[in-house]
Copies of this chain bind each other. A is one copy, B any other.
Amino acid sequence: MRYELYYWASIQGRGEFVRLALEAAGAPYVDVARTAGGERRLLALLDDDAIACPPFAPPFLKAGNRLIGQTANILLFLGDRHDLAPKRDSARLWAHQLQLTIADLVDEAHDSHHPIAASLYYEDQRREAKRRAVDFIARRMPKYIGYFERVLAANPAGPAHLVGGRLSYADLSLFQVVAGLQYAFPNATARFARQHRRVMALCERVVAGQRIAAYLASGRRLPFSKEGIFRHYPELDS
């Protein structure tokens, strides 16, 4: 079976967390919106009142006749199917808990440049973004990344992975969010490497994985840009 991933064609966005999991699993999938007529199919699914389990927003994943929405929920599903999370219930929920914390960080990273409304341009909320980014950089980002450093340090199986001794979707997602923060805030994240050695080592390990390395070098990996969640506006980077 080939999965169908529905996400906006031009950005990494939240879809990228799903793409990384599919790529790490070596699972066959189509990135629907990047095929001819695909974005129209995505919009048609969002508007289809006949769907019993409609997604609220992209990304969503078609797996056979199932349609699964919400990034963390898709990863919960894929983690079970493709061995990207432990099977044991407590460790499985722990991976999911970490994913939900990453999702909170992603939301806050987005709102650092869009604190007023996603429907407005950045330029229409630049002043407010400046204020929010100051707090995000000074308080929130260090709190989150420091938390993941602490999780790695406390992992009984060692600091190589967030959950147990093997790669999980939470590792992939932490790599993605750190890469995004480094793109968006090169100055503010310059201290990362020194203060969060375990997080940085994890990111390097993810990048070195054969499938992920091949993916990142491919045309399937979209570049970061000023359209996605992580945006580089120099005036927001302290």
CB-CB nearest in chain B for A130: B116
How far, in Å, is A191 (CB) from chain B's closest CB?
20
Residue contact A115 to B128, C-beta cutoff 8 Å: yes
Give Cα A156 to B151, complex, Å. 42
Q: Which residues of chain A from 94 to 123 have a CB within 8 Å of any chain B CB? A: 94, 96-97, 100-101, 104, 107, 111, 115-117, 119-120
Q: Of B66, B72, B139, which is within 8 A of A117 by CB?
A: B139
Decide if A51 is an interface residue (CB 8 Å cutoff). yes
Residue contact B53 to A97, C-beta cutoff 8 Å: yes
Q: Of B56, B66, B97, B116, which is within 8 A of A135 by CB?
A: B116
Interface residues on A, range: 35 or more
Residue contact B66 to A90, C-beta cutoff 8 Å: yes
In the bound complex, residues from chain B placing their C-beta under 8 Å from that of A205 are none
How far, in Å, is A161 (CB) from chain B's closest CB?
13
Residue contact B116 to A132, C-beta cutoff 8 Å: yes
What string of 1s and 0s marks CB contacts (under 8 Å) between A117-159 and chain B? 1011000010010011001000100001001001101111000
Decide if A52 is an interface residue (CB 8 Å cutoff). yes
One complex includes copies of this chain to the number of 2
In the bound complex, residues from chain B placing their C-beta under 8 Å from that of A101 are 56, 69-70
Give Cα A75 to B68, complex, Å. 18
Residue contact A73 to B49, C-beta cutoff 8 Å: no
CB-CB nearest in chain B for A69: B97
Question: Known contacts A93-B77, A116-B128; is A70 also within 8 Å of B100 by CB?
Answer: yes
Candidate in A49, A93, A104, A151 with the most chain B CB atoms within 10 angstroms: A93
In the bound complex, residues from chain B placing their C-beta under 8 Å from that of A155 are 52
Decide if A228 is an interface residue (CB 8 Å cutoff). no
Partner-B contacts on A (CB < 8 A):
49-56, 66, 68-70, 72-73, 76-77, 90, 93-94, 96-97, 100-101, 104, 107, 111, 115-117, 119-120, 125, 128, 131-132, 135, 139, 144, 147, 150-151, 153-156
